[in-house]
Amino acid sequence: MPGGVSSPVRAFRSVGGQPIVFDRVKGAYAWDVDGNRFIDYIGSWGPAICGHAHPEVIAALQDALEKGTSFGAPSELENQLAEMVIDAVPSVEMVRFVNSGTEACMSVLRLMRAFTGRDKLIKFEGCYHGHADMFLVKAGSGVATLGLPDSPGVPRSTTSNTLTAPYNDLEAVKELFAENPDAISGVILEPVVGNAGFMTPEPGFLEGLRELTREHGALLVFDEVMSGFRISYGGAQARFGVTPDLTTMGKVIGGGLPVGAYGGRAEIMEMVAPAGPMYQAGTLSGNPLAMTAGIKTLELLKQEGTYERLESTTERLINGILEAAKAAEVPITGNSIGAMFGFFLCEGPVRNFEDAKATDTELFGKLHRAMLERGIYLAPSAFEAGFTSLAHSEADIETTLKAFRESFAAVA
């Protein structure tokens, strides 16, 4: 396997050392092949919001397995999960299931162009929308972690229609619309950024994008693969009260199995084949296992007090991290929303990816290794958000903060 891994950031290249090879996971914990236990703040990069291998999800999957792993035909489970997504996410009137966040974003871009008849799109520097060619422009995530300029093998002709602006910069977006009249199909962004480190929208930013896209006849797309069902049950759009035209989703809605989805206004979604002429297909799309895990996960998340508990846990964690760094006189800035958090080892504020690049990546590598030695598993990159789950206990948080205090003192 290239680099010994199936996805680049797992290789620990930016933090040093060899990657941890997992054997099993349960609740808030992961065990490596040598039997070492870690408190996990990656959660399979977001899906494990109820905790790894939740017993109710596992039981539902065991029942589903008896009926088969893939149908290649419509199933009632697809309809059940579709109804749950439509009920929860303000922008979604119709939804199409796919197999990954990359696939969802690739498909929604084709849909944007088909619906508007325009070729150009605006994305934001540091926002990651999967590894499809047209999105690998200032793409954050693993591209930033590995120090790659974008990616060899992506033709200029493919990315010539991709325009970029700094996150949280409405004026830059206005200029792009002015310079490309009647040519921009839409704007796509992570409403809460998790792939360039954790960054939140400034007041008025999302609202401004909504106004600008309407003014210019373009579509607004929220990539909620990471934030969907994690910062609130209805995602960032429900939390901030800004409804896009289209939304991409993944991670949580598959309960840990491969899944993606895109949805939005019915008049736009009816462009998708076979209802309309825009072609998109997938052999394993809507497979019964992913649908089952997604349904059970969303049922668990709908229980009373779930998001209050997640928010409280995450706030306690990030506040403790900031206090530990300041006590060790380590420059830091950080924040959290719902069950997402992140920090940068630099003086704040961090408004966009350019600001984020000021973080001390060498110091983060030392911190990461120090935390591993103390049984805490953080994302092996200074440019990734962290995730909490319903399985993280008060004792887990206290153990984690003790490890941060010791680690900051050791690397300061």
Give catalytic residues, as residue numbers: 128, 223, 251
Question: Tokens 């929303």 correspond to what residue?
Answer: 337
Which residue in 304, 362, 293, 128 sits closest to 224, CA to CA?
A: 128
* 118/177 Cα distance (integer angstroms): 13
Count of alpha carbons within 13 angstroms of residue 250, beta-carbon side: 23
* 181/203 Cα distance (integer angstroms): 27
Q: What does the block give as tokens for 251?
A: 């991670």
Which residues are registered as beta bridge partners of 376? 39
**β-strands 37-40, 386-387 pairing:** unpaired
* 93/88 Cα distance (integer angstroms): 10
* 144/53 Cα distance (integer angstroms): 31
Q: Are 335 and 200 in contact (CB under 8 A)?
A: yes
* 336/373 Cα distance (integer angstroms): 25
